[in-house]
Amino acid sequence: MKRNELLKYLNSYGCYQLREGSRHSWWFNPEQNRRSSVPRHVEISNNLCIKICKDLGIPPIR
């Protein structure tokens, strides 16, 4: 999956970028008070996308 698609999905559930790391971006879900790191790669594997959604407490992306 493309990184931009995942970021749009995260934004649609109210998540926002908390900060930039050296190789990852940290995303935060204020409703669940949870955060997760998103790597800065053009392509992100589907399993990792599901894990990021699980970490943030939102439904998994299909």
- What's the rounded Cα separation, in Å, for the pair 34 and 42? 24
* Structure confidence at residue 60 (pLDDT): 96
Global pTM value:
0.93
pLDDT in tens, 3-32: 999 999 999 999 999 999 999 999 999 999
Q: Which pLDDT score, from 0 to 100, does residue 62 have?
A: 81
- Please list, in sequence order, all residues whose beta carbon lies within 8 angstroms of the beta carbon of residue 53, skipping any fewer than 6 positions away: 9, 10, 59, 60, 61
The whole-angstrom separation of Cα 16 and Cα 57 is: 13
